Structure 1
Amino acid sequence: EIQALVDKSMLPNPKRLTVGTDSQRLTMLLAILHRHVSLATYDQDVFLNAVGGIKITETASDLPVLISIVSSMTNHAVSNKTAMFGEVGLGGEIRPVSRGQERIKEAAKLGFTRIIVPKKNKVADLPGVEIVPVENLREAVKAVFGSQASQAESFDS
């Protein structure tokens, strides 16, 4: 589980605090979020936590990190039955990750009924599980938040 808290900063240089994730990668992901979804954090403190004290080093966590930030910024929760993975490129594209099919199967075993995945990682359907392939960050935001995504698109850049 990835948690994010985004709040208006009272400092000239907003805080970026990460626990269990790479702070430099967070900085890059925030720039991608601004560029491709028009959500700006230049005046926001961003706190990111990998629950359980684990250290996440793989890029498959990019998509969950960004979706948790969008969730905090728009005040819309992500369903606890939704899982996701994917590396996010500088162009906003969602790149496939290794062992994608294994990740999907494991998420299904854990009780997730909706899994957002890079388009190239979707191989086979699983009974009772909606697998949603996405090509870019904007599609992923819409897939997770549905009609609520329009609020995310209304943020000024």
Structure 2
Amino acid sequence: MHQGAALVAISYMSCFFDASLTDVLESPECPSDESRGAVLVQILARCGEGLMFNVFYALLGVSALSRVHKSATMLQKLAALCSLCERTMWKGILCWDSLCGWLQTTVSSLSSEYLRQGEAELIIPLWLKVLQDAASDYLHSRTGDNCRNHPGYMQGKGGAAVNS
């Protein structure tokens, strides 16, 4: 895929997550089948595994550096949405277990050129912890009183975690 097209697609998905998160934050208790939030969450629930797979390959591809920040932000928003849905009536459609399953499937399906043998079992728990912390950071930035000072990017402990 052309690098510019990849960046546009990632930006589009980031906006999609923003809209989904806004709707779920505004109406966590009463989803109607016709609401924009319900439609967005249902689309994500059906396409999440493919999305996770493609984000990983965008990060692993040639000249991925330009996509790292956008991809990391998109994964943070995806984790935030799954985490938020976990605490609402949306849980039946989308939840943290959805994200865990997508990550497991994606990492397990990576070819041997990307991971050494046994590495998948080591990185999945690490990534889940980082995504959980990043989701918490993002949701705090959207709902906390410091919302104006922090736009929601990985700034707290979730963004600081590294694989050493």
State the TM-score, normalized to the length of structure 2: 0.29
Name the larger-Rg structure. 2
**Bigger strand share:** 1
**Bigger helix share:** 2
